[in-house]
A and B are shown apart, each in its own frame.
Chain A
């Protein structure tokens, strides 16, 4: 008995039929590429900057980064009247391993004016509840007793604690959860939308998406690693603080087309 496992890739583009009014504007379609870059208060950060205590956060704690990976999803192009083109699916960026820093969606985007380009930091609840083989394979899961699904971000490193010793920290962002166990509850959503702003798409375009890592520790909540450095996954308050600080983390860099 010979078994064959063909992999059938079905790409179904379902465009709504009520778009006649747009058709005139949508003659050409172009490719888009998103380059994820990272900085600490404006200073570029790559994997080469990891593993040494060289950053200081707003609370003046010295720290290193050893691992930084996060997932984004539902890249969305919004047109004038609110029509949205959503590229469903997720994309994992692993700065530590130099993986996924460039995201080139398969789908071509019609040219024209878009009032906003946006994506979800993390995964929305419905999508988070599905089984994603690629994320399982890189151990990005959240334990079932915390509601299952996936990390939104895993940032690990060390900081110099008030005692003077070097201590590990685990800044892991997930869906906020209370009552860990077989019936966890979810006080509030912690994935969020990142708006990159308007774009007039004329040609194949490359967007730089910048993450200022220092913002995770800064604004509006001053983060004190001495108080919040580990076991933050079951800490719904910490998760909500992370979500609040996340709002100012991303911004649009250069766009070339």
Chain B
């Protein structure tokens, strides 16, 4: 039989070269130096590349500026709060309280989200309800939000322009363009994209460098077993080491919703009570859990899935035996599941000097 075949081969070639070659040439206008993201090998091998907008390439100068801004209280109305006040590096850039207080002491209604691997949010729907459509645009909101930094962008830009250091730092990062809200949020987004976590015990296991304990191994099996945890349909797997599907679901927290989540954004009642599936990386540092921080511990989270499910019309069909509250995991399976979940935490992420002020 004659046979025609067409092979479409996508080859990702990773090459590296040194910047040394540019040193010889004389350049009068300082150009920002490109700074490619440091992509962990487990991501390189398993998932699509990060999303970096063409109009905001990563640069050394942009990231440095973004980092300074992220940790600077200048962005808030009374200069008492920075992004890091709520997004604290020791807690994988989340907060230890269920909800966070803004500068006026008013608490919001949602748990501060941890910040890592944001460039792998392929749908670019940020926040618990997907309300902000890029990292750049997301950075606009907290500054203006009356229950967060309660400032206004004109005021912030004026302060940055009058500042002894910022004008020079903006010039290094963006050339002669005037300091603006757009450039400020671009710089912050560049820094946020560098917050990459891919060096947990489980990552090292995937790279063949360490073994899992029998407990962690059984926990993984519970996670992957459709009849027990069935967590993998929403929270990733060894083949999707982002540990999230970046989608929105109702995981059965409430029978009646006080926060409509995705439904607020889309206006579609069938989206009520749906929230972003969070990544399960770094859970060791990000308690409390869920969009409103209702669970203090991972045991409470696991008990929720095992026997605490609340029925509602939008509950995800992947939630099983809802009328009995869940699949009733054994005590052993619960303990092992927890051990496995903790193997996804990455101490090198919270101790990375590049991420700490």
Q: Which residues of A contact B (CB under 8 A)?
A: 1-16, 18-19, 50-52, 66-67, 81-89, 106-107, 131, 133-134, 136-139, 141, 143-145, 148, 154, 156-158, 165-170, 230-231, 233-234
Contact = CB atoms under 8 A, between A and B. Distances in A.
Of A3, A66, A106, A148, most buried by chain B (CB within 10 Å of CB) is A3
B18 A1 contact: yes
A18 B317 contact: no
Given A88-B7, A106-B8, A5 B36 contact: yes
Give the interface centre of B2, B3, B4, B46 by most chain A CB atoms within 10 Å.
Answer: B4
Given A11-B8, A145-B224, A19 B2 contact: yes
Interface string B227-240: 10000111011111
B331 interface: no
Contacts of B233: 139, 154
Nearest to A165: B323
A131 B234 CA distance: 19
A11 to B, nearest CB: 6
| 8 cross-chain pairs, A with B, having the tightest CB-CB distances, nearest first | A168-B317, A51-B270, A143-B224, A156-B317, A139-B245, A3-B16, A83-B2, A2-B19
Nearest to A234: B226
A138 to B, nearest CB: 7
B226 to A, nearest CB: 5
B277 to A, nearest CB: 9
Contacts, number: 156
Contact of B315 (A82, A86, A168): A168
Contacts of A83: 1-4
Contacts of A67: 317
25 contacts: A1-B19, A2-B17, A5-B13, A5-B15, A8-B13, A10-B10, A13-B6, A15-B4, A15-B6, A16-B5, A52-B270, A85-B4, A85-B6, A86-B5, A86-B6, A107-B8, A133-B47, A136-B46, A137-B242, A139-B237, A141-B237, A143-B226, A145-B225, A158-B317, A168-B318
A69 B13 CA distance: 31
Contacts of B48: 133-134, 137
A139 B234 contact: yes
Contacts of A133: 46-48
Interface centre among B11, B15, B34, B226 (most CB of A within 10 A): B226
A6 B11 CA distance: 10
Given A15-B4, A88-B5, A157 B245 contact: no
Contact of B16 (A4, A15, A85, A170): A4
